[in-house]
Amino acid sequence: MSKTVLALVPHPDDAEFYAGGTIAKMAAEGDRVIIAVTTDGSKGSFDLAGKELSDARAKEMAAACTVLGAEPPIMLGFTDFELDRLPPGKLREVYVRLIREHRPDVVITEDAFWLGEIHPDHRAVAWAAMEAINYAFLPRLHPEHLEHGLQPHFVTEKYYYSEEPSRFNKIIDISATFDTKVAAMAAHASQVEFLVQGILNEANLAGVDLKAVLGEIAGDKLALLRMGMQMAAAEISAGQGFDLAEAFRYERYNPLVENFLSSS
On the 0-12 / 13-18 / 19+ scale of CB atoms within 10 A, 180 is buried
* Gyration radius (Cα) of the chain, Å: 19
Q: Is the dihedral of CA 164, 166, 168, 174 positive or negative?
A: positive
Q: CA–CA separation, 227 vs 210, rounded Å?
A: 13
Q: Is residue 23 part of a domain?
A: yes
Residue 259 three-state SS: helix
Q: Is residue 261 part of a domain?
A: no
Query: For residue 161, which of 250, 35, 238 has the smallest C-alpha distance?
Result: 250
Residue 215, Cβ neighbours under 10 Å: how many?
9
Q: Is residue 106 part of a domain?
A: yes
Range of the domain at 9: 4-255
Total domains in the fold of the chain: 1
| pLDDT recorded at residue 48 | 79
Q: Is residue 260 part of a domain?
A: no
| pLDDT recorded at residue 46 | 84
Question: Which 8-state DSSP code applies to residue 13?
Answer: T
Amino acid at 243: D
- Decide if 25 contacts 174 (C-beta within 8 A): yes
- Decide if 79 contacts 40 (C-beta within 8 A): yes
Q: Is residue 199 part of a domain?
A: yes
Q: CA–CA separation, 220 vs 224, rounded Å?
A: 6
Q: Is residue 264 part of a domain?
A: no
| pLDDT recorded at residue 128 | 98
Q: What is the pLDDT along the chain (264 residues), one digit of tens a residue?
A: 899 999 999 999 999 999 999 999 999 999 999 999 999 999 988 887 889 999 999 999 999 999 999 999 999 999 999 999 999 999 999 999 999 999 999 999 999 999 999 999 999 999 999 999 999 999 999 999 999 999 999 999 999 999 999 999 999 999 999 999 999 999 999 999 998 889 889 999 999 988 888 888 888 999 999 999 999 999 999 999 999 999 999 999 888 898 988 887
Q: CA–CA separation, 7 vs 100, rounded Å?
A: 14
Q: Is residue 155 part of a domain?
A: yes
- Decide if 132 contacts 112 (C-beta within 8 A): no
Q: Which residues contact 248 (CB under 8 A, 6 or more apart)?
A: 19, 22, 108, 111, 159, 160, 161, 168, 169, 170, 172
Q: What is the pTM of this model?
A: 0.95
**How many residues can be counted in the chain?**
264
Residue 172 three-state SS: strand
Question: What CATH number is given to the structural domain containing 31?
Answer: 3.40.50.10320
